[in-house]
Structure 1
Amino acid sequence: MRLHRKAFTLVELLVVIAIIGVLVGLLLPAVQAAREAARRMDCSNRIRQMSLACHNLESAAKSLPPGYVTFSERYTTAPNNLNSDGTPRGSYPNFPAFVVTGSQGGGLVPRAEVYGPAWVMHVYTFMEQSTLSQRVEQGIAADDHQEACPWDNLDGLPWRRPDVDTQSFIRSAMSCPSSPPSQVMYSDLSIENLFKANYVACFGGRYMRDATPRGDISKRGAFGAVVDINKFPYGQRWGVGKGRRLRDVTDGTSNSVMFSEVISNDTVDGRTSSSHPSGMNRDVRGALLTPMMGGNSFSGFFPPGSNGTDVTTGCPLPTDPAAFPAGHQMFCTQDRNIDPVTGGQWQVAARSYHGSGVNASYVDGSIRFIPNNIDQIVWQNLCTVSGGEVVSNEP
């Protein structure tokens, strides 16, 4: 008697495949959601580490780190226009403190050698990166006026390759895990080779100018410009102990945002250079080494994830290959008006790859997820530290 092996028919096989496909289709979104939840948790932990570093600095220096240090509004007055030996330096311009640029020709103003470190460099030591902090300190302490613009002089051009380390840490510790990795660099306004990341400081509820003495005090954020400082001796470029003090946060530390996220533009614009192996563009958003609006800062003018138009100095023109079309969430407008009265109305919104909102840390160190549909006025109020508003429907 011959035995016959029982096998699947073609119909049965197709049914099984269809069932497996349905199960995969049902499970895959759940797996992806679980992975995104894990990435979002990792993201919040990274922002928490930055907040803790700022609090440790505040314990040591009695203030949060300055958003950035600038001598621009007092540059032509003694002793700021003198060499370290007291001899005149020549003609250098005064310009508003909200102007952030490179130090060479091609910047917003010529010879803008008037800056100290931004907040990113201040927190290196308190994030267990004292070696990087020392490298920055050595660079700006040298008797070299060209070194008075750290983001222009620690940019990692071929002859400064060791300084790339100061940016490598930014990319690893200050990038959101949900953000696609990118090698595209920011290069414009006489600044080159700035890598991009995601975590940015709150410069207030409205414009860049409000982060300076020229702006509206009620719109100021946890970080801003420090201008009441001498240029010489060189060690005073840091501005340590001159950022916001906790007593300045009169709205309450649990009601004032300190850090959040931005999305960087990683589209190359076609320019080529041996020092930009993966390409570059003129979009400053996410270039954390520089405190240009959108670089290592954001404002609460628009709510998170907004389709509202960002306005900043570091934005591609519409004809630029790296520009986003009008209506795109990342569409921006280039504005380089540096008039002391009408300029500095620059703002960049918080955005993330989390889909429904952004992570944000508050001055008290807490981390909260802010939904994209938060009321615009509430968000603006949360992004100020001394506006006197009462937040009634905080997320």
Structure 2
Amino acid sequence: MTTSRRSHRGFTLVELLVVIAIIGVLIALLLPAVQQAREAARRMSCSNNSKQLGLALHNYHDTHGCFPVGAIATTNGERPASWLVRIWPFIEQSAAYDQSTFIGNDWSGRGFDKNWRATTVLDIAFLNCPSNPMTKYWTQTASSAMTSDGCPSSIKYQIPDYVGCTGVYNGGPLTNWNGYHGRQDYNGVLTVLDVRNSEPTSFKHITDGTSNTIALGEQSDFIKIMDSSGTVTKKDTYRAWSWHGGGWSGGGGAENDEGYWKGLTSVRAGINYVPSTTNDPFGVGDYWYGRPGFHTIYTSAHPGGAMFTLGDGSVRFISENLNFTTLGRLANRHDGQVVGEY
């Protein structure tokens, strides 16, 4: 009887290294494609968020005959509700809206936020871009009036990523130089009511056409500040909603607006612009006491540009390389200038 001998042969070290190298190359080739697919999904989600806000603005206009105001100046200095609060009923937050007090309330929480049971726990997922690398919350110490009402001493408010456009810097007659507080502009879709502006914006005021006018824009990435040595610092508190009260406070409540509005910006620099801390020509560098100014920059974590909602409710991804003149014309609702391609 013949006995057959079967040879058992394993991998050599060279063969094993070759296989590992091939796997490494395949991973290196596939990883960017996977990351691009994930970013494309996040960008689509951000577009849907912007679309929901555009629909809410239109539903608000259908109900009230105008767009929501970003703030209403008060005589007692109490910080008013933001434009986001005013559209709560149109973004499935009627429960929070119906139980809220608007008269005699400080929505920033620096005074007595009587609505703290709702405002400090409210977290609306679609108000944040999924690509946002920053914190979603503004944390602060509750006022003594709030703690006396049973509020915890440490509270937080949501910081949304979508900012209303109140126009373009110094764009026509609806503008005001407010001394060291800066320049306030009222030529956009969303604005405020104060001693200089007594009428909210409606469709009749958007004479350039709603499809040619920005209503909201994205602020979902760090504001990047460059110092004199060329070093860039990321600032996550330099956004239009980053201050006391987060997304529910409209900003300064006094007649002079305390030098800032919340959740609004007028365009003074391009998308993803990097200002300098020293002698910046656009005046959008470091802000006074870290609070948002009137011209916070539209920024995005999506490569190459940012998401915008137009006055007709449509959503466009606008390139950061867009000519600034065109961006300014998009921000101004009634300059009478042709926008052209963008």
**TM over 0.5, shorter chain:** yes
Structure 2 partner of 1:202: 165
Distance (Å, rounded) in 2 between the aligned partners of 1:345 and 1:369: 24
Which secondary structure state, in structure 2, belongs to the residue aligned with residue 203 of structure 1?
strand
1:249-283 deviation per Cα after TM superposition (whole angstroms, max 9, x unaligned): 011101000111113669xxxxxxxxxxxxxx964
Structure 2 partner of 1:119: 83
Distance (Å, rounded) in 2 between the aligned partners of 1:217 and 1:248: 18
**Residue type matched to 2:250 in 1?**
P
- Alpha-carbon shift at residue 16 of structure 1 (Å): 1.1
CA contact (8 A) 1:284 1:295 kept: no
CA contact (8 A) 1:67 1:223 kept: yes
- Alpha-carbon shift at residue 192 of structure 1 (Å): 7.0
- Equivalent positions of 1:265-304 (< 5 A) are 283=238, 285-287=240-242, 288-292=247-251, 295-304=262-271
- Structure-2 change in CA distance of 1:209 and 1:10 (3 Å): farther
**Residue type matched to 1:5 in 2?**
H
Distance (Å, rounded) in 2 between the aligned partners of 1:196 and 1:210: 32
Residue of 389, 392, 395 corresponding to 2:337: 389
- Equivalent positions of 1:139-154 (< 5 A) are 139-141=101-103, 145=104, 147=105, 149-152=106-109
Q: Which runs of 5+ in 2 are unaligned?
A: 144-153, 224-235, 252-259
**Residue type matched to 2:128 in 1?**
S
Structure 2 partner of 1:58: 61
Which secondary structure state, in structure 1, belongs to the residue aligned with residue 102 of structure 2?
helix
1:309-352 deviation per Cα after TM superposition (whole angstroms, max 9, x unaligned): 5xxxxxxxx8xxxxxx999xxx832247xxxxxxx973111001
CA contact (8 A) 1:265 1:285 kept: no
CA contact (8 A) 1:208 1:345 kept: no
- Structure-2 change in CA distance of 1:150 and 1:285 (3 Å): same
**Residue type matched to 1:291 in 2?**
G
Q: CA RMSD in A?
A: 3.7
Which secondary structure state, in structure 1, belongs to the residue aligned with residue 216 of structure 2?
strand
- Structure-2 change in CA distance of 1:4 and 1:211 (3 Å): farther
CA contact (8 A) 1:155 1:192 kept: no
Which secondary structure state, in structure 1, belongs to the residue aligned with residue 35 of structure 2?
helix
Distance (Å, rounded) in 1 between the aligned partners of 2:97 and 2:250: 17
- Alpha-carbon shift at residue 163 of structure 1 (Å): 3.2
Residue of 193, 198, 213 corresponding to 1:256: 213
- Structure-2 change in CA distance of 1:63 and 1:379 (3 Å): same
> 1:246 and 2:203 equivalent?
yes
Which secondary structure state, in structure 2, belongs to the residue aligned with residue 299 of structure 1?
strand
CA contact (8 A) 2:42 2:131 kept: yes
- Give the count of matched residue pairs: 294
Which secondary structure state, in structure 2, belongs to the residue aligned with residue 36 of structure 1?
helix
Structure 2 partner of 1:182: 135
- Structure-2 change in CA distance of 1:365 and 1:46 (3 Å): same
- Alpha-carbon shift at residue 62 of structure 1 (Å): 0.8
> 1:8 and 2:40 equivalent?
no
- Structure-2 change in CA distance of 1:162 and 1:67 (3 Å): closer
- Equivalent positions of 1:31-110 (< 5 A) are 31-71=34-74, 75=75
Which secondary structure state, in structure 2, belongs to the residue aligned with residue 298 of structure 1?
strand
CA contact (8 A) 1:40 1:178 kept: yes
Residue of 281, 287, 290 corresponding to 1:334: 287
Which secondary structure state, in structure 1, belongs to the residue aligned with residue 63 of structure 2?
helix
Using the size of structure 2 for normalisation, the TM-score is 0.74
1:21-56 deviation per Cα after TM superposition (whole angstroms, max 9, x unaligned): 111111110111011011101101011101101101
Distance (Å, rounded) in 2 between the aligned partners of 1:164 and 1:345: 24
Structure 2 partner of 1:359: 307
Structure 1 partner of 2:227: none
- Alpha-carbon shift at residue 291 of structure 1 (Å): 3.4
Using the size of structure 1 for normalisation, the TM-score is 0.65
- Alpha-carbon shift at residue 381 of structure 1 (Å): 1.1
Structure 2 partner of 1:85: none
Structure 2 partner of 1:371: 319
Q: Which runs of 4+ in 1 moved over 6 A?
A: 153-157, 207-219
Distance (Å, rounded) in 2 between the aligned partners of 1:30 and 1:298: 35
- Equivalent positions of 1:163-174 (< 5 A) are 163-165=119-121, 167-169=122-124, 172-174=125-127
1:272-310 deviation per Cα after TM superposition (whole angstroms, max 9, x unaligned): xxxxxxxxx96454332233458412222111111135x
Distance (Å, rounded) in 1 between the aligned partners of 2:187 and 2:159: 25
1:184-209 deviation per Cα after TM superposition (whole angstroms, max 9, x unaligned): 52559x89743322111111112799
Which secondary structure state, in structure 2, belongs to the residue aligned with residue 140 of structure 1?
coil
Which secondary structure state, in structure 1, belongs to the residue aligned with residue 220 of structure 2?
coil
- Structure-2 change in CA distance of 1:156 and 1:301 (3 Å): same
Percent identity at matched positions?
28
